[in-house]
Structure 1
Amino acid sequence: MNWDAEFTRYFDRSADSMRFTAYLLCGNWHEAEDVVQAAYLKLYLAGPKLVRREGLDAYVRQIVVRTFLAERRRMRWRRERLTGELPEVPAAADALSEDKLVLWQALSAVPARQRAVLVLRFWHDLGVEETAQALGCSTGTVKSQTSRGLKVLRQRLGAEFATLWQEVTRNA
């Protein structure tokens, strides 16, 4: 089978999941779409050279996270601007629990690298070693970034944190 057909089938099967992962990282559907588009372009270009294709989900997730982090480093000089508009919410907001929306908004306050670790560890249920591999860092870095990210969430969410975190990650 040629790579174009294989890529199209893989994209159709996995794009929604990767978009949602990117949304959790970015907190913005438009930026998430850009990150995913860049990730799939990188996959498409690398595809013919890939020897093993059974681990594409992990490979694309790694590309999504690294693309997000690279974009954040490039945009570090840009800061949020206050507007009169409310932040974006997922398209199917009515189907989502209020708890998830609160947690996702709080997640946007977590620094990018810590947010990436939290999304991989708790949304994708990756272990410390797998997360370290996806981010290209040590397991110690994953542990410290997890601890710091959870601390930011605890500060942001207050006393509700433990209940909210368990509820949302259990139903992820």
Structure 2
Amino acid sequence: MDAAEERRFRDFVSARSPALMRLAFLLAGGDQHAAEDLLQTALAKTVARWHAVDAPEAYVRQVMYRQQISWWRRGAFRRETTVAEPPEWAVQDATHAVEVGIVVRRALAKLAPRQRAVLVLRYFEDLPEAEVAAVLGCSVGTVRSTTHRSLARLRVLAPELAEPYKIIGEAMA
């Protein structure tokens, strides 16, 4: 890699790292360390093929998705987070947005990796169905049906999202 290509790669990483880290965090089911590993692995694979990459962000997203699926299939990074005491809802300073975010993150972590990836790319990254299909290597119809099934599963996993102000009432009780 020559100096110009290296500078182009460094500029890309500097500019897009926050957005890519958010995507990795969501794909990893909310595990910060796994998300950092996922992004680092994707960037390492990208730099190896940097000379042939036309759309760097799309390429990194696809590498992250495929790497996460690979780790999931191997059973790697399937660790249970242990804490001394179970986490409690914050009573005094909790805001609705934070509580909803926690509920959504927990529910996303319970989805299958492909379902999580479709929802993350579609609603958090705000990609159109065609781009989601390109990143995941499937048809637009598959993206639509997976989105439908994933949202239905999310409603089962987090019924409190249907009643947004119920979460605050439970936290204050």
Q: Structure 1-normalised TM-score? A: 0.78
Change in CA separation of 1:98 and 1:135 when aligned onto 2, cut-off 3 Å? same
Q: Tell me what 2:137 maps to.
A: 136
Pair 1:60 & 2:63 matched: no
| Structural mapping, 1:102-117, within 5 Å | 102-117=103-118
- The alpha-carbon deviation at position 133 of structure 1 amounts to 0.7
Bigger Rg, which one: 2
Contact 2:72 / 2:78 at 8 angstroms: preserved in 1? no
Q: How does 1:1-172 map to 2 (within 5 A)?
A: 2-26=4-28, 27-50=30-53, 52=54, 55-75=55-75, 81=80, 83-84=82-83, 97-161=98-162, 163=164
The CA deviation at 1:118 is 0.4
Amino acid at match of 1:23: F
1:46 counterpart letter in structure 2:
R
Moved more, 137-146 or 27-36: 137-146
- CA-atom RMSD in angstroms: 2.5
Q: Given the superposition, is the C-alpha separation of residues 7 and 75 from structure 1 closer, same or farther in structure 2, using an over 3 Å criterion?
A: same
Relative to 1, partners in 2 of residues 1:3 and 1:40: Cα closer, same or farther, differing over 3 Å? same
In structure 1, list runs of 5 or more residues that go unmatched.
Answer: 88-93, 165-172
Deviation at 1:134, TM superposition (A): 0.4
Deviation digits for residues 98-136 of structure 1 (CA, Å, limit 9, x no counterpart):
211211111111111100000001111112211111001
Partner of 2:90: none
Structure 1 SS opposite 2:155:
helix
Counterpart AA for 1:61: R
User: TM-score normalised to the size of structure 2?
Assistant: 0.78
Structure 1 residue 80: deviation in Å? 5.1
| 1:83 aligned counterpart, secondary structure | coil
Deviations for 1:64-117, whole angstroms, at most 9, x for unmatched residues? 1121112111217x8654734568xxxxxx896221121111111111110000
User: Residues 39-79 of structure 1: CA distance to partner in whole angstroms, max 9, x if unpaired?
Assistant: 101110011233x3xx3222222221121112111217x86
* Identity percentage of aligned residues: 34
Counting matched residue pairs gives 154
- Contiguous gaps of at least 5 residues in structure 2: 88-93, 166-173
Structure 1 letter corresponding to 2:73: R
Preserved contact between residue 25 and residue 31 of structure 2 (Cα < 8 Å): yes
Post-superposition offset of 1:138: 1.5
Q: Distance in 2 between matches of 1:162 and 1:124?
A: 24
